[in-house]
Structure 1
Amino acid sequence: MLKALWNGVILAQSDRCKTVEGNYYFPPDTVNREYFKESKTHTNCFWKGEASYYDIEVDGKINKDGAWYYPNPKEKAKNIQNYVAFYPRVQIES
């Protein structure tokens, strides 16, 4: 079971994570949404498509663009559609 932790809070927890390019992607139904706010940031990956980002807020502290996901990925990345990954500022533990 993997956990994503930041600022003393479990942001996501799952035994169904997928690993892509060294990042753990958590299923959307395992993410604690109360700490996530949509960001205006978007980036593009040549094989996964356009990524959307979340700001993470815990106890008044903000982790800007601390998580990302692919709402409409390209065909090769369909297996991670809407799964959430985290930047290294968020600790991943087993």
Structure 2
Amino acid sequence: MKAEWNGTVIARSDDTVVVEGNHYFPPGSLVTEHLAPSSATSVCPWKGTASYYDVVVDGEVNAGAAWYYPQPSEAAAQIADHVAFWKGVTVSA
């Protein structure tokens, strides 16, 4: 699987974890130069508190387009520190 935004691959892995239809990419599969920490958070009733990254490509910023669970609930332990994407980021095989 790969995640792309504005024609640039920001993650690639053969070992994503799919939860609720979203592919969560392992930390080692991320192109970290395209991810900038965000102060945004949200809470999922069963996964826990999510943190966000802004996706940055060629100076363009897609705010909050990536999220992860640094300390997920026990039920979602398999996605700890894995990153998922939305807001126009294309995830495909």
- Rate the CA distance shift 1:85–1:56 in 2: closer, same or farther, 3 A: same
- Deviation beyond 2 Å, 4+ runs, structure 1: none
- Equivalent-residue separation in structure 2 for 1:39 and 1:88 (angstroms): 15
Please list the CA deviations of residues 11-33 of structure 1 after superposition, one character each: whole Å capped at 9, or x if unmatched: 00000001000101000110000
What is the match of residue 36 of structure 1? 35
- Equivalent-residue separation in structure 1 for 2:71 and 2:19 (angstroms): 16
Which structure 2 segments of 5+ residues have no match? none
Total equivalences in the alignment: 93
Q: Give the partner amino acid of 2:12.
A: Q
Equivalent positions of 1:1-94 (< 5 A) are 2-94=1-93
Which structure 1 segments of 5+ residues have no match? none
User: Percent identical across equivalent pairs?
Assistant: 47
- Equivalent-residue separation in structure 1 for 2:89 and 2:60 (angstroms): 13
Q: CA deviation at 1:78?
A: 0.5
